[in-house]
Amino acid sequence: MALNRINVHILYNNYIKHGLIETLKVSEQSLQDTLKNASKMQPLIDVENAVNQIVFSFIHYEQNKELLKNAVHRKWHDLAIVYNWFIDKEAGYYTQIIDDSAEKLGLSEEDLFLAAARNTMRLFPPKVENLSNYIVSHNISDEPDVFDQSDLNPMYIITNEECSNGAIVVLYENLLHELAEKLESDLYLLPSSVNEMNLAKNTEDIIMKNVFDLLKGDALKFFGIDKKIVARARTEVNFVELKTNFDDNVYLLEDGTLIHFEFQTTNKKDDIYRFMVSDAFLAFKERKSVRTIVIYSSDIVNAPSNLDLGSITYKIDTFYMVAFDGDVIYNNIVEKVSRHEKLTKQDLMSIVLLPIMRSKDDKVTRIKNCIELSKRIEDTSDLSQIQAMLYLMAEKFVNETEREKVKEMITMMPIMEMIRNDDRIALAKRMMKYNEPLFKIIEYTQLDESVVKQLQQEFESE
């Protein structure tokens, strides 16, 4: 049976602009067209060309178990991928592919998936839009210039050009990779509906704030430095063709000097030249002394620490993690945690550096052990700081294969949930600013209704 799609986004926009009565008339006309044209559909069905007309979409798995009994599908997290045969795209006529029709077409589920992956991207190209622009284009406001986008954190809507069944675009080949490359960031997907997903850049500031909280105070004693970090040094150097962003690695000390951390898993000849150029431009811009500490993972036992280039001499402090017995340090900290003792800053630094210390265990096992150990820490502020640093360790010191093995554990760390929740709350507040209805805020953010109502009360009292 061929069905005619009714695009709920078009109806919603029509409702906003023209009211309920006009919207009902549009719906009625669409249904009448379906009935009128039903008898004309058979000649349009091209079985031989079906493989070029098959597309896929998401539906909720648990809520559609009855439908899925006969439908060809593939489970994807808490969603199901289902397949539709588009008989006439322009008119919106399609039929869902069930087991019998797939058999008649001579296509397996894998065949359907591969065909749909090609066809859906071709027939329904992806659309990525800044959230504020999306709100404007969907008639929450008719005046784009009322939006001050300068104060908005990057948040995007990812869908297709029709804004219907658009969440499936996350499966388009290379799309998310190309977006991540373009935005120069890892991405968070925040499901909102089968029609679109919210997409946010990796909230690096939350991670780095917790890293800073870990390093400030007397944490530098771990490296034999009796000075305290007092602030993050937000410095970006642009000079000729060199652009170096130090935000993540440079801190201001209490004596007014800068300390610059580098984390290395390789020992390349050009590394020390790169450090020298970076420090020279940093000192030039900030007019401050710079001390660079290069922390080498346990794979490296020796690396150059100075350069003599005639008039230019340069020296770094090298810190070799191979000198530390990670297994002994780990066991000592486990005992302290078991005795419910308060951990010192040096203990916390030891935990986050354990994955790159000398050990009989492989790197993946060490990271997993540290994540599990971090969950036993009673001080919640310490927990966030440690997990933020472990996140960075996993990003900087493990290869892609190793990262996949610890990805699930990292994703489930409380700090990552905190980041996701902060993104949802930020989205909810922005939607309130533009008078989005409560039900839509809940749908888009996936926050509990009670949380959204509390946010709304706070918003209205401001």
- Average pLDDT on 169-191 reads 79
pLDDT recorded at residue 307: 92
Q: Per-residue pLDDT tens for 206-217?
A: 555 566 666 777
List the one residue out of 389, 385, 386, 382 whose CA is nearest residue 342: 382
- Average pLDDT on 349-371 reads 86
Q: What is the distance between the alpha carbons of residues 135 and 141, in angstroms, rounded to a whole number?
A: 7
Higher per-residue confidence, 156 vs 381? 156
How many degrees, rounded to 5, is the angle at CA 179 between CA 177 and CA 184?
A: 95
List the one residue out of 318, 251, 321 whose CA is nearest residue 290: 251
pLDDT at 353 over 70: yes
Q: Per-residue pLDDT tens for 408-428?
A: 666 566 555 655 666 677 777
Q: What is the distance between the alpha carbons of residues 359 and 366, in angstroms, rounded to a whole number?
A: 8
Distance of alpha carbon 235 from the chain centroid: 25
pLDDT at 378 over 70: yes
- Average pLDDT on 212-225 reads 74
List the one residue out of 84, 86, 80 whose CA is nearest residue 66: 80
Long-range pairs for 274-281 at CB < 8 Å and ≥24 separation? Answer: 275/314, 275/316, 276/307, 276/312, 276/314, 277/242, 278/237, 278/244, 278/246, 279/314, 281/237, 281/239, 281/242, 281/244
pLDDT at 22 over 70: yes
Residues 6+ apart with CB under 8 A from 213: 381, 384, 385
Global confidence as pTM:
0.47
Q: What is the distance between the alpha carbons of residues 342 and 336, in angstroms, rounded to a whole number?
A: 8
Q: Quick one: pLDDT band at residue 266, thresholds 50, 70, 90?
A: confident
pLDDT recorded at residue 195: 84
pLDDT recorded at residue 366: 87
pLDDT recorded at residue 151: 35
Q: What is the distance between the alpha carbons of residues 122 and 314, in angstroms, rounded to a whole number?
A: 56
Give percent of the chain above pLDDT 70. Answer: 68
Higher per-residue confidence, 407 vs 159? 159
Phi and psi dihedrals of 211, rounded to 5? -65, -45
Out of 48-62, 329-343, 448-462, the most confident range is 329-343
Q: Residue 420 — left, alpha, or beta (φ > 0 → left; ψ -120 to 50 → alpha)?
A: alpha
Higher per-residue confidence, 138 vs 274? 274
pLDDT recorded at residue 210: 62
List the one residue out of 387, 397, 400 whose CA is nearest residue 359: 397
Residues 6+ apart with CB under 8 A from 115: 51, 52, 54, 107
Out of 87-91, 217-221, 290-294, 379-383, the most confident range is 290-294
- Rounded mean pLDDT of the chain? 75
Buried b vs exposed e over 209-225: b needs ≥16 C-beta within 10 Å?
Answer: ebbbbbbbeebbebeeb
pLDDT at 331 over 90: yes
pLDDT at 73 over 80: yes
pLDDT at 15 over 90: no
Q: What is the distance between the alpha carbons of residues 72 and 377, in angstroms, rounded to a whole number?
A: 47
pLDDT recorded at residue 50: 75
Phi and psi dihedrals of 78, rounded to 5? -95, 15
pLDDT at 361 over 80: yes
pLDDT recorded at residue 24: 75
pLDDT recorded at residue 434: 65
Give percent of the chain above pLDDT 90. Answer: 15
Distance of alpha carbon 444 from the chain centroid: 16
List the one residue out of 251, 194, 184 whose CA is nearest residue 223: 251
Q: Per-residue pLDDT tens for 77-111?
A: 888 999 988 765 554 556 778 777 778 778 888 98
How many C-beta atoms surround the C-beta of residue 144 within 10 A?
12
pLDDT recorded at residue 334: 93
Burial of 69 (0-12, 13-18, 19+ CB in 10 A): exposed
pLDDT recorded at residue 377: 80
Q: What is the distance between the alpha carbons of residues 328 and 98, in angstroms, rounded to a whole number?
A: 59
pLDDT at 345 over 70: yes
Range with the poorest average pLDDT among 201-205, 252-256, 390-394: 201-205
Q: Quick one: pLDDT band at residue 44, thresholds 50, 70, 90?
A: very low
